[in-house]
Amino acid sequence: MPLNIVVCVKQVADPDYFNEITIDPASGRIRREKVPSILNPMDENALEEALRIRERFSGKVTTVSMGPPQAKEVLDWALILGADEAILLCDKAFAGADSLATAYALAGAIEKLGEVALVLCGNAAADGDTHQVGPQLAELLGMPHATYVRQIDFKDDETLTLTRAIEYGHLTIEMGLPALVAVLAEINVPRQPTAEGIMTLLEKEYKEWQADDIGVPAANLGLDGSPTRVAGMYEQKIERRQKVLTGTPEEMVKAVIAELRNEGLL
């Protein structure tokens, strides 16, 4: 049962360096020059799951990313890890996209690819973290979807059995293919790159598509297609008052309780 699987991958700022991100007080823009970019961690789990499914059933794994030219780095990484093909959606027309416009662009690309049995996404991107792209994409593709998935099994050639994390437990659900599944980090441990993966990178298929290539109306893409707007940005300043108490431990405890009552906190 060969399966065509698409994995949506996003280049994100490395969460280990989030403390280096600042806001330019003059322009209000985010400054992240010192922050390296990586493949969104949960997308690496989605890719790993796709590679395991391909190893079991055969088929093809295609990775798709919408982003600036440097997003090619994460697609190269995915090809090194074992994806068969990578597509970068790169065009000024995509700039300023919110999650809905991102989903429109990805949907256009996936429809252009033709018959796709399974679309895998990360549950969330480490930076934007809206968790919206997967479900919106499924809706646009007319596919059922499941989020928070921590295990994917196949009941038969046409039906998935999914384990979905919920508060205090999990749900087991069945879902017909084609479907979109958004996975959690706990679903697997992604593989490490191999020398063979690096050597075969240049033999793999890499494509760049612009807005005209995916047949999505301009009104649905980029800033024009984005119903959300960033209304403002500010750096949160946390100011602390300090008070040093003196006396015996009993006196200090009494003073703390009085102070907290005074502030309406007790």
Q: How far is the CB of 202 from ligand FAD (least distance, A)?
A: 23
Binding span for ligand FAD by CB under 6 A among 54-62, 168-176, 187-195, 224-232: 224-232
Report the distance separating Cα 125 and Cα 11, nearest Å: 9
What are the φ/ψ torsions at residue 125 (nearest 5 degrees)? -85, 140
- Shorter beta-carbon distance to ligand FAD: residue 232 or 264: 232
- Shorter beta-carbon distance to ligand FAD: residue 75 or 80: 75
Contact flag: residue 63 with ligand FAD (CB under 6 A): no
Q: How far is the CB of 182 from ligand FAD (least distance, A)?
A: 6
Instruction: Please tell me the chain's helix, strand, coil percentages from 3-state DSSP, rounded to the nearest 5.
Output: 35, 25, 35
- Shorter beta-carbon distance to ligand FAD: residue 177 or 185: 185
Q: How far is the CB of 9 from ligand FAD (least distance, A)?
A: 6
DSSP state of 161: E
- Shorter beta-carbon distance to ligand FAD: residue 111 or 255: 111
- Shorter beta-carbon distance to ligand FAD: residue 9 or 140: 9
Lookup: tokens for 36: 């390296």
Query: Which residue in 127, 108, 109, 135 sits closest to 207, CA to CA?
Result: 109
Q: Where do we find the tokens 């919408």?
A: 66
Residue choice 32, 52, 112, 131 for contact with ligand FAD (CB under 6 A): 131
Q: Which residues inside 162-221 make contact with ligand FAD, applying CB under 6 A?
A: none
Mask for 16-45, x = binds ligand FAD (CB under 6 A) = ------------------------x-xx--
Residue choice 16, 55, 129, 224 for contact with ligand FAD (CB under 6 A): 129
The amino acid present at 210, given as its one-letter code, is Q
Sequence-distant (≥ 6) Cβ neighbours of residue 116 within 8 angstroms: 4, 5, 6, 110, 178
- Shorter beta-carbon distance to ligand FAD: residue 129 or 212: 129
- Shorter beta-carbon distance to ligand FAD: residue 9 or 116: 9
Contact 75, 63 (CB under 8 A): yes
Q: Buried (b) or exposed (e) across 239-250, using 16+ Cβ within 10 A? A: eeeeeeeeeeee
Report the distance separating Cα 120 and Cα 125, nearest Å: 13
Contact flag: residue 88 with ligand FAD (CB under 6 A): no
DSSP state of 2: -
The residues that touch ligand FAD, with contacts defined as CB under 6 A, are: 8-10, 40, 42-43, 65-67, 95-99, 102, 106, 121-122, 124-125, 127-134, 226, 228-230
